[in-house]
Amino acid sequence: MMRWFFILLLFLPFSMKAFDISQLRKSYIAAVKDKEVAEKFYKMLEPQASSSPLMLAYYGSAQAIMAKHAWNPCKKMEYVKSGLKTMETAVAKSPESLEIRFLRFSLEYYLPSFLGLSKHMEEDAAKMLELAQKGQIDIEDPVLVKNVIGFLKKSGRYSAKELTIFDAALNNG
């Protein structure tokens, strides 16, 4: 019995799937649109959530996406609240990550205001602006950076002057 346990331990690292961040991002976008993809995305991320703050943030997003696809209002709230709590933990672990801040910002942006759950939007908006001013954009994919900045522009949370800071960050990135 012990022999099988040690054999399993030897091969376990090779069986754990390494995540390709670009594929993870594509899966995230697909999960928003498709319930089956959302369920697979959620189940895939659940065991990996503690591996890094970014994975934790995507897991929080996956929880919130499950709310979109749930039909039971109580279950929807359960998913949203757990997703927001997970996102708070991810931000606490990596407060200087523009991508993590953006994930939480976009999640709260789409929540109905009457729920009163969009508590971090101003904080995240200010932090993302600060990071852009410093040139600290932790997203290596230029298309994703362009899409993030495009979303931030459309969010209506920034003045024209602040938007030029994001444009400068985009052009320098």
Q: Say whether both 100 and 79 belong to one domain.
A: no
Report pLDDT digits (tens) over 82-138: 999 999 999 999 999 999 999 999 999 999 888 889 999 999 999 999 999 998 887
User: How many independent structural domains does the chain possess?
Assistant: 2
Q: Say whether both 102 and 81 belong to one domain.
A: no
Q: How many Cα neighbours within 13 Å face the side chain of 13? A: 2
What does pTM read for this prediction? Answer: 0.83
Q: Say whether both 87 and 27 belong to one domain.
A: yes
End-to-end CA distance of the chain: 54
Residue 59's domain spans which residues? 23-94
